[in-house]
Amino acid sequence: MPNFIDLTSADGFVFPAYVVEPAGKPKGAVVVLQEIFGVNAHIRSVADGYAAAGYLAVAPATFHRVKPGVEMGYTEPDMNAGFALKTAVEELPSPGVLQDIQVAINHAAKTSGGKVGIVGFCWGGLLTWRAACTLSGLAAAVPYYGGGMTAGDEPSRQPACPVMAHFGNQDHWIPLDTVEAFKKAQPGVEVHVYEANHGFNCDQRGSFNEAAAKLARQRTLDFFAKHLG
């Protein structure tokens, strides 16, 4: 049964995470990182999907340091509020929310008894990329349309685990030329580009693209099967 549990970071900060256990013994674990809308129904459904695929799923509330209990939809006011919260988290002193993600990884490893992968969407995709490059205990990472990961110094980071990245070629938040530059800077990263917009995986958004979402999920499941078991 899915439920929220409390996790405690290295600095003593307590935050919630949505946890779903698979029906049988876990094949491994997947940490699911939210968009800028909180651990909402969509993110919980993504976690449920990985549990249905045999993995322990853990979705930490990465806004909790600046505002607890965030769960939003996808209207323009929700988007503006989400951007403001994301900005507030990004401005936290280092290591900021990355220490919470590390605790989620540690919990996932200990509870599942297996290897841990991480997947994230939008801002969560950026955090997934950073986690792959700076945190410990990850066997694979899959950022979806990671806003910011193709800009600034982000492409110069070096991942410590295998990475697969999904982008849409109609995404005005992540210009395609920056995706191509990222591919050149990161030849070891498996990059897939879809005929789709930003947020193509979310069936609660107008940008949902069923074909792209289905293909990206299958590729991700195959990637996790290869690296997690």
Is residue 122 flagged as an active site residue? yes
**Cα–Cα nearest to 128, from 193, 34, 56:** 34
SS3 103: helix
Is residue 6 flagged as an active site residue? no
Give the Cβ contact number of residue 95 at 10 Å.
16
Catalytic residue chosen out of the listed positions 133, 198, 202, 227: 198
H-only helix segments in the chain: 41-52, 76-90, 98-112, 123-134, 176-185, 210-228
Catalytic residue chosen out of the listed positions 122, 133, 161, 202: 122
Residue 212 and residue 197: Cα distance in Å, rounded? 10
Is residue 171 flagged as an active site residue? yes
Catalytic residue chosen out of the listed positions 64, 100, 161, 171: 171
Catalytic site positions: 122, 171, 198
